Amino acid sequence: MAGPLRCLRRLSLLLRRSALGGVRPSPPAPMMTPLRLRETAALWALQARPLATKRAKAKGKAPARVSINAALVKDVISLEELREEMQSVVQGLQEDLGKNVSIRTSPGALDHITVATKDGKFPLNQLGQVSLKSPQLVLVNMSNFPESAAAAIKAIRESGMNLNPEADGLIIRVPIPKVTREHRENLAALAKQLTNKAKETLRKVRAAAISQTKKAKSSVSEDTIRLIEKQIQQMADDAAAEMEKLLAAKTKELLG
């Protein structure tokens, strides 16, 4: 009888604890949709980063970087396509600096010049045939668009490259000045101008991506939206930093 009595005492004790709230059944886990599961996975992957950021700020270090798995947010935005678009802007600047901002003379040195005509604005090389007569002379043949010759001369003179074009019939003669300190400074200013133009293009790409992300607020959580926006801003900052490095290298090349 001792064994059954002990069992009854234990059962009575458990029942009293349950009545007092000591033992409560666990609530059922909420159902999660596949999209919510992907969001949760993304947040779990980054949940330690805010703490790392606070520690980094306290020590005066750079904030922790965001790294979202692109596959988890592909229903909102394609981060891979966005990265490629931003990189194309950086590569475009690199090409412009290499071709249009150089102390070495080449026909492509005038390609960035835009000519304002009555029919609109066009690159100089679409209106005239640009060729290198000698290291000190570039020729622009305007025979295909003779009515735009005067506008082309004005655009070349106002390009900021310290050029003084001369009309010779339908041929525009562009003497290339000696590589003086002033000329190098003018080229450095042009490099800065091209960099600012590329940054403006980058800002437009970033703004379009942010706008696209905000449109998904009805289908994803606010935390996910904020993380994606932070990732987009980080990508834009990285691209802008690359542009600054290109500008710094070009300025050093020109001014020493």
For every residue of the chain, DSSP letters joined together read -HHHHHHHHHHHHHHHHHHTTSS-PPPPPPP--HHHHHHHHHHHHHTTHHHHHHHHHHTTPPPPPP---GGGGTTT--HHHHHHHHHHHHHHHHHHHHHHS-SS--GGGGTT-EEEETTEEEEHHHHSEEEEEETTEEEEE-TTSGGGHHHHHHHHHTSSS----EEETTEEEEEPPP--HHHHHHHHHHHHHHHHHHHHHHHHHHHHHHHHHHTTTTTS-HHHHHHHHHHHHHHHHHHHHHHHHHHHHHHHHHH-
Q: Give the separation between CA 79 and CA 107, rounded to whole angstroms.
A: 38
Report the distance separating Cα 176 and Cα 142, nearest Å: 19
What is the reported pLDDT for 50? Answer: 44
> What is the pLDDT averaged over residues 107-116?
81
Contact 89, 78 (CB under 8 A): no
Percent of the chain predicted with pLDDT > 70: 73
Among 38, 92, 97, CA closest to 69: 38
How many whole angstroms separate alpha carbon 13 and alpha carbon 34?
44
- pLDDT tens string 196-212: 999 999 999 999 999 99
27 vs 15, 19, 24, 34, CA distance in Å? 19, 17, 9, 22
pLDDT band at 62 (very low <50, low <70, confident <90, very high): low
Q: Pull the structure tokens for residue 17.
A: 């604890």
Q: Which of 35-44, 46-55, 108-117, 186-195 has the lowest mean pLDDT?
A: 46-55
- Separation CA 240–CA 201 (nearest Å): 11
For residues 65 and 116, the model is more confident at 116
Sign of the alpha-carbon torsion through 80, 86, 89, 95: negative
pLDDT at 51: 40
User: Which band of pLDDT confidence, cut at 50, 70 and 90, is reported for residue 83?
Assistant: very high
pTM of the model: 0.59
More reliable by pLDDT, 91 or 6: 91
Residue 112 structure tokens = 């960035």
Half-sphere exposure in the Cβ direction for 183 (13 Å, CA): 13
